[in-house]
Structure 1
Amino acid sequence: MFQRVAALVVAGGRGERAGPHADGPKQFRRIGGVAVLLRTLRLFAAHPRISDLILVGHAADRERIFDLLAGTDLSERVDLVDGGPSRQASVANGLQAMERRAPDAVLIHDAVRPFVDAALIDRVIAAIEPSAGALPVVAVADTLKAGKDGLVVRTVDRAGLYAAQTPQGFPFSPILEAHLKAARSGGEAFTDDASIAEWAGLPVRLVEGDPSNVKLTTARDIALADRQISQSKEAQLPIDVRTGNGYDVHRLVEGDHVTLCGVRIRHDQSLSGHSDADVGFHALTDALLATCGAGDIGDHFPPSDPQWRGAASHIFLSHAKAVVEAKGGRIMNADVSLICEAPKIAPHREAMCAEIGRLLGLERDRVSVKATTNETIGFVGRREGIAAIATASVAFGEDR
């Protein structure tokens, strides 16, 4: 019935109930090695009925979202809109930004429901009418109790009670007007878009939901989701594991230190290069990019660009990690061989492994740094330069 169906993904929450985490709000936390938000966006971007894709995020997260989408096919597909002080205000902002695209209908979805599937999206779209919305629900299965002061007051009849899910679908103009009307009223706060539609007099039809379409709310929810995906990956045969190789060399010049695999080492020479000339990180960056056909370090950080002059090479390695993950990859291990006559690498090997592990999110037994000399042969043997060879393994699965 509807020609243009847009999707509005809401990702402006702070996720307090999930607790503090190094990755920040729960929409940025990884399940199966991929950010929750990225998983959700991919599901809607891949659906053939979705014509437009709007993401509403917190203003403080703009740069992080751009970094997350960079290097993926979503970077050109997704329009980012700043959210408001509440979910209700955020959705209103997204709908107003979408108005110029004039969609016929819109699906409004919580970013932290990353397990929605195409069949559920199809059911919701099919149920939307010009004068009615559609709400996916799951019948309440548990016995319900009303309580007060820590005591059961009564058992609540669960017949006709449902748990609401997203995406919730609506004809576009009526739900936009309902949101604007609710904003003008400045009164009641609504917990979802179906409740705003009900308040505004827009009927909402019930649609069969999906029990697996869970909302990730707590840290435990996220841990269980990660375990579920990991177990699913382990069960997949064949496993798509790719290996990439990288090689780099830089000339030695007069100086007082070298930087190798992120560790500054005092030395009577320095490596010459446009950045900090860390051959270990440069080779490993190329190895990671090779696993997903993403070119090489020069494509992403051209030496002709003055902004990278003297740059720390951990920037390049972190970028390569982000590219791999955006394409659905999970880094399995990293191995770097440094070829030099001096300085001695052994005293610094553990620090190098720790830095690689920190940047790539790898445990110690998945990182290796080795060193060898060139037996005084060639430019390395003459102490004219240092070379590095790197190998990285990356697993790609269903999320790619």
Structure 2
Amino acid sequence: MAAVALIVAAGRGSRAGDGSPKQYRSLAGKPVLTRTLEAFLRHPKVGKTLVVIHPDDRDLYRRSIAVLPEGLSERLMPVAYGGETRQDSVRNGLEALSGLAPSSVLVHDAARPFVSGALIDRAVEAAEEWGAAVPGVAVTDTIKVVGPRSEVVSTPDRASLRAVQTPQAFDFASLLAAHRKATAADQRNFTDDGALAEWAGLTVHVFEGDSLNTKLTQAFDFPEAERRLRGLSMNYVTRFGTGFDVHAFGEGDHVWLGGIRVPHDRGAVAHSDGDVILHALTDAVLGALADGDIGTHFPPSDPQWRGASSDRFLAHAVALVQARGGLIDHLDATLLCEKPRLGPYREAMRQRIAEIAGLRLDQVSMKATTTERLGFTGRSEGIAAQAAATVRLPEPPREAPHES
């Protein structure tokens, strides 16, 4: 049967800075993982694709595959869940594929969204020819081996050195056996499958990699990736939107604010979960798109939204931005109430909003104020929030003036 692809997407990506794991962050209007998956799901020599995710990322994963072009998700297998290390995650994915018994498997990092069809071609051919192969690119810098006191120990001949990438290509049964052998021997320190295969006694070959097949690792990798995808000639217009929401207090013992359940002696009277912060943010994003308001997209007269979690509303607005090739630069919200106090929950709310919108933490601002006991919020009759969103959208090309 055709080769299968195993996409490793269970990492936390801590070196990429605050915010959602890097594989779920937006890159030129699409999550990184979505771009990576498209390359494999479109490829005629890849039969099925399995993604290994962190158990906490199920919602992020669902949102990533929801924006795949129509029909592509049919080639996706149910997810597998990662382990403590990348090695554990790959083994879990291989075990999940064992019932399918493919002839070969391509193991690829989710954070390499620039993988080309030609590179996948070479990987499939390398798996068939050698049974264990990794893509490599020539090293252009001089490499030094240093000792414990930073002294140079040796200078390898760079002509024989290669920087290794993914997708790494293997005979499926051989790689699964190598992983099982490493687990049985409690060998858990391999950072790539080529090294594990070498340890297990397989001869690993190197095929031609691709210098453009870069991995997104640090926070500064993302702006450069944006420039690559968009092209320096692309023009963008900045749009600014605002939102406001209010709910009366009623019976209850908590309120939902910024996607967080906050204990309180009252509850919000609302058709959905009454999260005024997420409602205001949703309207702000929709305002920046000039695309109606939350009531337009989620009418309160529709019973399907009764008691609905408001993260669905904000995620929908974010998806609309992505569908237009846009980027959300910043979200800002202000809570208006006497109680509950925002302070103990502020950072959890910022983190949750960043997760929903696929943003870094520094792209989300959260504030609160009282109204000096004036008005309905001052009398603790209800709660309100106002919000702002800054969005960049591709600027339509202007028609050249007609000559008379």
Normalising by the residue count of structure 2, what TM-score does the alignment of the two structures yield? 0.64
Q: 1:316 to 1:83 in 2, by over 3 A?
A: same
Residue 90 of structure 1 deviates from its aligned partner by: 0.8
Matches within 5 A, 1:136-147: 136-147=135-146
Residue 304 of structure 1 deviates from its aligned partner by: 1.6
Higher mean alpha-carbon deviation, 57-66 vs 280-289, is at 280-289
User: Which residue of structure 1 aligns with residue 185 of structure 2?
Assistant: 185
SS of residue paired to 1:319: helix
Matches within 5 A, 1:163-312: 163-187=163-187, 189-217=189-217, 219=218, 222-230=219-227, 232-236=229-233, 274-275=271-272, 297-298=297-298, 303-305=302-304, 307-308=306-307
CA offsets per residue over residues 79-105 of structure 1, 9 Å max, x none? Answer: 311011111111111011112223221
User: Which residue of structure 2 aligns with residue 316 of structure 1?
Assistant: 313
Separation (CA, whole Å) in 1 of partners of 2:181 and 2:39:
31
User: Which residue of structure 2 aligns with residue 339 of structure 1?
Assistant: none
Of 25, 28, 32, which residue of structure 2 is paired with 1:36? 32
Name stretches of at least 5 consecutive residues in structure 1 with no aligned partner: 244-252, 256-261, 263-271, 335-354, 365-391
Of 49, 54, 61, which residue of structure 1 is paired with 2:57? 61
Residue 194 of structure 1 deviates from its aligned partner by: 1.4
Q: 1:232 to 1:59 in 2, by over 3 A?
A: closer
Residue 45 (structure 1) aligned with residue 41 (structure 2) = yes
Q: 1:298 to 1:71 in 2, by over 3 A?
A: farther
Separation (CA, whole Å) in 1 of partners of 2:31 and 2:282:
25
Residue 187 of structure 1 deviates from its aligned partner by: 3.1
Residue 10 of structure 1 deviates from its aligned partner by: 0.6
Separation (CA, whole Å) in 2 of partners of 1:393 and 1:19:
22
CA offsets per residue over residues 145-203 of structure 1, 9 Å max, x none? Answer: 12220222332222312111100011212211221222222236322111222233333
Matched residue type, 1:14: R
Separation (CA, whole Å) in 2 of partners of 1:55 and 1:13:
12
Residue 36 of structure 1 deviates from its aligned partner by: 2.3
User: Which residue of structure 2 aligns with residue 70 of structure 1?
Assistant: 66
User: Which residue of structure 2 aligns with residue 12 of structure 1?
Assistant: 10
Name stretches of at least 5 consecutive residues in structure 2 with no aligned partner: 240-247, 251-257, 259-268, 332-349, 364-389, 396-404
Separation (CA, whole Å) in 1 of partners of 2:44 and 2:167:
16
State the Cα RMSD in Å: 4.6
User: Which residue of structure 2 aligns with residue 258 of structure 1?
Assistant: none
SS of residue paired to 2:220: helix
Matched residue type, 1:168: Q
Higher mean alpha-carbon deviation, 318-327 vs 277-286, is at 277-286
Structure 1 runs of 4+ with >6 Å offset: 277-291, 357-364
**Contact 1:190/1:196 (<8 A) preserved:** yes
Matched residue type, 2:49: L
> What is the aligned residue count?
322
User: Which residue of structure 1 aligns with residue 385 of structure 2?
Assistant: none
Higher mean alpha-carbon deviation, 92-101 vs 173-182, is at 173-182
Normalising by the residue count of structure 1, what TM-score does the alignment of the two structures yield? 0.64
Separation (CA, whole Å) in 2 of partners of 1:22 and 1:298:
27
**Contact 1:333/1:394 (<8 A) preserved:** no
